[in-house]
Structure 1
Amino acid sequence: MDIPAMDEDSTLQSPFIVRDDYLVSLGEPGGHLITDEEYQDYRLEVEYRFPGEPGNCGVLVHASTPRALYDMFPKSIEVQMMHKNAGDFWCIVEDINVPNMEERRGPREEWGITEGKKRRILNLTDGSEKPLGQWNTMTIECLDGTVKVWVNGDLVNHGREATASSGHIALQAEGAEVEFRKVELTPITALSK
């Protein structure tokens, strides 16, 4: 775990717990649960729900340098899970290209990967998420510099030419409680390419 607030107050409750056989991100204090290993060329399937109030959370792929943005977020590409925005990309000191980039990210001169820049890349669809409290399935496929995202079977984002193609994987604690009943990583072998 990387929880910046716990550096100064070790008595804070961990924002990541196991409850009723679910991994739970309590949302506060903010931070990340990060894999020990680095991964490349894989499919990650995550089943999640917001059990109470809707809010924010995300899966970070190709994560590397800790606290690279706002002294909180590791250098990575975030796949957004925020309610009604699932599948958006957020560029966190890494970048990725998508079709219709200006339409989905805003004016080119405002793009960037650091504080104060347009880092959000909108997903392709609205309405792929299930109603609040129900389980959603997010599938993230990272292969050869591309990142594809499906929410409940709908392709909601597809980026290419990512500035990183490997790294750690992280789950966020970012303001809302989220339950995970499945986090499954499957390598994509050279034979299946």
Structure 2
Amino acid sequence: MNKPAQFTFLFAFAFVLSLTAADKKPATAKPVLRKAVINGSGPGWKQLTGKDFVNVNCHSNTWRWEGGHAYCTGKPVGVIRSKKQIKNFELVCEWMHKKYGGNSGVFAWASPKSIKKLEDGKGRLPDGIEVQVLDLGYAELYEKRHKKKSDWFTSHGDVFPTGPAKFTPFPPVAPNGRRSFPSKNLTLGTNQWNHYYIRAINGEVRLWVNGEEVSGGTGASPAEGYLCLESEGAPVEFKNIRIRLLP
């Protein structure tokens, strides 16, 4: 190869290398999306304390309050209810199970008829829409106790109707078609605080667990009633319970 041809070849080769290097620039990092946690601050929000609830069918010492912090023994199974019935609302709360496999819940729109039955000593839990508050160990204990799979519930924020209440769950849906299963598993275990944001408007209920929307449904009947906190066998705590009533 003569010198002019050799020079031309080297120049072309260097040019190709420069283009290749330009194509290998480090990829731009994707922005990190932050979770939005609604904490119940702002106009219209009100903190709930023991003064805002009435005992329905628990013992006098089942629930103990220190300001906005509720301590529940879990015994007996039963509920406390809001003093007034509510319709459209937003609710935030933090909850923590104190025993492995603990069970509890928040009832939206518990029917007055079912509450009256409980007050008369008939039954344990009201009819309405329940937002499950379940410890991560519940499935393991259920399978050991009943010798069958726990595929009909989760510990990450199921939303479902109880009794004769009606509800069309958002997918994914439990095998029985009644429960809205969470789209993500975000619940933290025993002795760790979890954050719920519940939005209930015109028969539609949506649940955010620890900052992310995971479950819900629509077509709830009843779509008005009492707000209830549930005692179901194991100690559980609630705090920072705040509500905003909506038109």
Structures share fold, TM-score greater than 0.5: yes
Query: Within 1, Cα distance between the matches of 2:232 and 2:203?
Result: 27
* Matched residue type, 2:239: R
Equivalence for 1:105 = 174
* Matched residue type, 1:79: V
Equivalence for 2:56 = 2
SS at match of 1:48: strand
- 1:96 alignment partner, one of 164, 167, 190: 167
Query: Within 2, Cα distance between the matches of 1:32 and 1:169?
Result: 10
- 2:215 alignment partner, one of 154, 157, 182: 157
RMSD: 2.2
Task: Check the 8 A contact 1:79/1:86 in 2, yes or no.
Answer: no
Deviations 1:4-40 (A, max 9, x none): 6xxxxxxx55211125862112100111010010111
- 1:132 alignment partner, one of 185, 190, 197: 190
Q: Which moved more, 1:16-25 or 1:156-165?
A: 16-25
Bigger RCO of structures 1 and 2 (CA < 8 A, at least 6 apart)? 1
Matched, 1:44 2:82: no
Equivalence for 1:62 = 109
Query: Within 2, Cα distance between the matches of 1:105 and 1:95?
Result: 15
Q: Which runs of 4+ in 1 moved over 3 A?
A: none
* Matched residue type, 2:228: A
* Matched residue type, 1:60: F
Task: Check the 8 A contact 2:183/2:214 in 1, yes or no.
Answer: yes
Q: State the shift of 1:86 in Å.
A: 3.5
**Identical aligned residues as a percent:** 24
Equivalence for 1:86 = 156
Q: Which moved more, 1:149-158 or 1:121-130?
A: 121-130
TM normalised by structure 2 equals 0.62
Q: State the shift of 1:148 in Å.
A: 0.3
TM normalised by structure 1 equals 0.78
* Matched residue type, 1:175: G
Deviations 1:130-156 (A, max 9, x none): 232111110110011100001101111
Q: State the shift of 1:72 in Å.
A: 1.3
* Matched residue type, 1:28: K
Matched residues, number: 168
Task: Check the 8 A contact 1:57/1:174 in 2, yes or no.
Answer: yes
Task: Check the 8 A contact 1:30/1:175 in 2, yes or no.
Answer: yes
Query: Within 2, Cα distance between the matches of 1:186 and 1:99?
Result: 24
Q: State the shift of 1:126 in Å.
A: 4.2
Structure 2: 5+ residue stretches without partners? 1-54, 137-154
Task: Check the 8 A contact 1:14/1:29 in 2, yes or no.
Answer: no
Q: Which has the higher helix share?
A: 2
Q: State the shift of 1:107 in Å.
A: 5.0
Query: Within 1, Cα distance between the matches of 2:67 and 2:97?
Result: 15
Matched, 1:147 2:205: yes
Matched, 1:27 2:85: no
Query: Within 2, Cα distance between the matches of 1:107 and 1:168?
Result: 26
